[in-house]
Structure formats: structure tokens, C-alpha cells
Amino acid sequence: MAKTNSSTDQLITFILKGIEEVKGNDVNILDLRDIENTVCDYFIICNGTSNTQVNAIVNSIQKIVSREIKDKPWHIEGTDNAEWVLMDYVNVVVHVFQKHVREYYDIEGLWGDAKVTAISN
């Protein structure tokens, strides 16, 4: 990862911890800072195996981030059907997918210019 401010680094660390605690799969961090006109600095993308697991990942991220750094998402959408939940922490946007929906939308492919860091579980 290139230089970031430490609060963004902390946020990313605790988001990853939230994903890990409920065994989210195929975690990628996309660094968007060198791409013009992006809405945020990073995407964190992962997937769960069911809507239950997707919601568990979202809840785990919220709980850990809130507990550790007293931050909460500016906006969350998609929890109703939990096929694709977007959590907007302003500098960092988290996408939690069910696997088939992730493959369909191919966010990594759309943002092909981003630097991708794969996180092994």
C-alpha cells in the first residue's frame, strides 16, 4: 500500500478484522487513489456464501469499527436482500457480495486500473 493517513489505515485494518471474524472470502483491497474522479480512496471487496453470511460480515465490520475507532458508516445499502451490501465509510467503501453477484458485477474488472491487494484468510 502507498502512503495513507493513519486513520484510513486503521479503518482498513478493522474492516479486514470484521470480515475475517465471520470468515468472509476472497478479500481484495482496491487502491483507487491514482485514478481520477473516484468517489473514495479504497474499495474493500469480499463475499459470503449466503445472505445470512453477508449480513453477518456487515454486522461484524460495523461492530468492530465502532468499538475500536468509534467510526460508523456514513451510509449502508443492500441489507434487505443481502446479495450486495455497500458500506460507505467515506474514504473507504466496502462491498460485501454473495459470490454469484460478485462474479456478475465484476467490480475488480470495472476498476482494472486500480492497484489490487489480495488478502489471504
Q: How far apart are CA 97 and CA 78, in angstroms?
A: 10
Side-chain-side CA neighbours of residue 87 (13 Å): 29
Q: 23-78, pLDDT tens digit by residue?
A: 999 999 999 999 998 989 999 999 999 999 999 999 999 999 999 999 999 999 99
Residue 17 pLDDT > 50, yes or no? yes
Once rounded to an integer, what is the mean pLDDT over residues 86-106? 97
Q: What are the residue ranges spanned by the domains of the chain?
A: 6-119
CATH of 6-119, one of 3.40.718.10, 3.30.460.10, 3.40.50.150, 3.40.50.1000: 3.30.460.10
Q: How far apart are CA 12 and CA 2, in angstroms?
A: 13
Q: Quick check: helix, strand or coil at residue 6?
A: helix
